[in-house]
A and B are shown apart, each in its own frame.
Chain A
């Protein structure tokens, strides 16, 4: 079964600085990869997804992620963060090649934006 690891439970970063949130998944022949954002007291919202094709995926709010098959990683990046990016971010993975495979979520990374 697939698994996903978010290496940092919390990441503090100054406003307007760049940020990278790390995500690694267990190896599989085929993968779908996702990043979700959860603002305080809200549900999860899809930021971006990788299904196939270009390894650099652009999402909403200026975020992007790069699929690296050799390193089994899907790190999320933003070149300049804002206070409004304060949230928890979840990486998720699924294996579309396996019948009945379901999405597995990481434990989340809290992004703290420092003024």
Chain B
């Protein structure tokens, strides 16, 4: 079992560029989430999904899009990168929204 995998590990973008952060899990979890981690802010929920075809916004959704076409994959799209999106991004999966989350290794994104 690979658990939750994320690619890439590191990425540098210029302001205005777009990109997709990839996330996959092999635990057959229905629930998947994207968080961003910033110093002193803890983890903040960006978007989440309760199953294939169903997504919803979290605490800080602006500037990000998600889709969930399969149970395994939950990509996060940055439409037009801004320096405020410089952060470490974590994908997580779980059996339920209130259940223990299993995290990927993270993607460190820098927007210049």
Interface size on B, residues (CB 8 A): 23
Residues of B near A95 (CB, < 8 A) are: 98
Quick check: is B103 within 8 A (CB to CB) of the other chain? yes
Q: Quick one: which of B35, B92, B100, B106 has the most chain A CB within 10 A?
A: B100
Cα A81 to Cα B11 in complex, Å, equals: 35
A-B pair count, CB < 8 Å, reads 53
Q: Interface digits, A70-92 against B, CB 8 Å rule (1 contact, 0 not)?
A: 00000000000000000000101
Interchain CB contact under 8 A, B103 and A45: yes
Assess the A105–B97 pair: CB atoms within 8 A.
no
By a beta-carbon cutoff of 8 Å, the part of chain A in contact with chain B is 9, 32, 34, 36, 42-46, 49, 90, 92, 94-96, 98, 100-103, 105-108
- For this complex, 16 residue pairs linking A to B, each with C-beta atoms less than 8 Å apart, are A32-B98, A32-B99, A34-B100, A43-B90, A43-B104, A46-B100, A46-B101, A92-B101, A94-B97, A96-B98, A102-B33, A102-B97, A102-B98, A103-B101, A107-B40, A107-B41
List 17 other contacts, CB 8 Å, given A32-B99, A98-B98: A36-B103, A42-B105, A42-B106, A43-B4, A43-B103, A43-B106, A44-B43, A44-B90, A44-B101, A46-B100, A94-B98, A100-B97, A101-B97, A101-B98, A102-B98, A105-B35, A107-B41
